[in-house]
Chains A and B, each alone.
Chain A
Amino acid sequence: QVQLVQSGAEVKKPGASVKVSCKASGYTFTGYFIHWLRQAPGQGLEWMGWINPISGVTNYAQKFQGWVTMTTDTSISTAYMELRRLRSADTALYYCARERYLNGMDVWGPGATVTVSS
C-alpha cells in the first residue's frame, strides 16, 4: 500500500542539527512533491517547505530559509529534511506528506519526534 515511513525519535542538544528521513513505498516516488511540516506540542501545523524529487527543486517557507535543507535520494525513494542550529522551540513532531498538482497532501508519514534539550 501507499505509505511514507519516517525515521525514529531524536533527542538533540541546542545548536546541533537533525536529519529526518521519509521513505516512500507503493507509488512512483518521482511523481509527487514531498512536503515537510511540523507541529509543536499543543500547536497547529506549520509548513516548512517542499521538494520536487524529480528535479531536486525546493521551495522553503521564508522562516526556514538558510536554516533547513531538503533533499531526496530517488534510488531509494527517500526524502530527507535537515534542520540546523536547533533551539528548544524546534521541539516538535515533524511530518512528511506527498502532494501532486496542488490537490492536497493525501498521504502523510506518522511523524518523527525531535526533542531539543540541554
Chain B
Amino acid sequence: QSVLTQPPSVSGAPGQRVTISCTGSSSNIGAGYNVHWYQQLPGTAPKLLIYGNSNRPSGVPDRFSGSKSGTSASLAITGLQAEDEADYYCQSYDSSLSGSVVFGGGTKLTVL
C-alpha cells in the first residue's frame, strides 16, 4: 500500500490531454513538501519529469506540466504522443516518517 495514491491506469488518444492525480495527506503533500514526477519507459530507469511541483528539467517538453493543491498534486500531459506511453510515479516526503521519501504506486499511461 503506497503512501501516495495514484490511479493504476489512464488512457488517451494521440493529441488528447490526460491528467494523473496523486493524493496524499497532511503529513506529506499537505505539509508543504515538494512533489516530483517521474516517467519510466519500458525497460529503462525512471526519469525526472517534473520537480518542485511544477518545474520541468531541461529537455522535458512543455506538454508536461505539474500542479499541487492542498493534499493532492496532478500531472497533465497535452498533445499526447505514442512515445508518452509509460509508467508515471509521483514522489514526495513525509514528516510522520522522519522526512522519508514516499512514492505513489504508479500509473500506466496507454496511448490508444
Contact = CB atoms under 8 A, between A and B. Distances in A.
A110 interface: yes
A103 interface: yes
Q: How many A residues touch the partner, as a band?
A: 20 to 34
Q: How many B residues touch the partner, as a band?
A: 20 to 34
Select the residue from A62, A106, A109 with max chain B CB neighbours within 10 A. A106
B100 A61 contact: yes
Interface in A90-110: 95, 97, 102-106, 108-110
Contacts, number: 60
A29 interface: no
B83 to A, nearest CB: 19
Given A44-B89, A44-B105, A44-B106, A104 B100 contact: no
Given A102-B93, A104-B91, A106-B51, A47 B101 contact: yes
A82 B58 CA distance: 33
Interface of B: 2, 33-34, 36, 38, 40, 45-48, 50-52, 57, 87, 89, 91, 93, 97-106
